[in-house]
Amino acid sequence: MENQDRLAREIRDLKRQIGSRDSTAVPLVAEPTTPFTVREHSDTVPSLEKEPEDPALFRSLFRGREDVFARMWKNAKGRTGYSPACGNEWVEGLCRKRGREVRCADCPNRDFSMLTDEVIVDHLGGRHVVGVYPLLPSGDCFFLAVDFDGAGWLKSA
């Protein structure tokens, strides 16, 4: 009987605590809300009304190194990855990665390819997949990484 009374008190206390939390809970809404103001137009934000294959728009949204870019590859086993695009890749006598003599990063003959408008247009047109290196030689970076998971994601936003 004593144990039942103790459990009944615990249940009552827990219900009281739940009730007090419910009064401060934020109700769920059917439509997402924006906790910040969105401006209609800004000279610093690129307009998305430009041509879809506009390299200037791509460069403004994905600013990174221009002296090198990554190219996606897929091997015979289906494994994929990215490597710096090299003008000497698979060139007989210059590229020594066949047979794994040397890694591209350590190759004395590497000739990184520039990220040109033509490369960007080909990427946007689906002819190949490229990636940018966001960390500039100066250490500057124009990318922003945001992680909005977990219970407190809205507060973080």
The per-residue pLDDT for range 63-102, each reduced to its tens digit, is 999 999 999 999 899 999 999 999 999 898 898 887 778 8
147: how many CB neighbours lie within 10 A of its CB?
7
**Number of domains into which the chain is organized:** 1
Q: Find, among 77, 69, 89, 65, the residue nearest to 140 by Cα.
A: 65
Residue 2: inside a domain, yes or no? no
Q: Is residue 146 very low, low, confident or very high in pLDDT (cuts 50, 70, 90)?
A: confident
Residue 89: inside a domain, yes or no? yes
Q: Is the pTM of this model over 0.75?
A: no
Residue 24: inside a domain, yes or no? no
Predicted pLDDT of residue 48:
47
Segments forming the whole domain that contains residue 64: 55-156
Residue 68: inside a domain, yes or no? yes
Residue 101: inside a domain, yes or no? yes
Q: What is the mean pLDDT of residues 31-53?
A: 53
Q: In this structure, are residues 81 and 72 in contact, taking their beta carbons and an 8 Å threshold? A: yes
Residue 44: inside a domain, yes or no? no
Predicted pLDDT of residue 96:
85
Residue 15: inside a domain, yes or no? no
Predicted pLDDT of residue 103:
85
Residue 67: inside a domain, yes or no? yes
d(CA 30, CA 152): 19
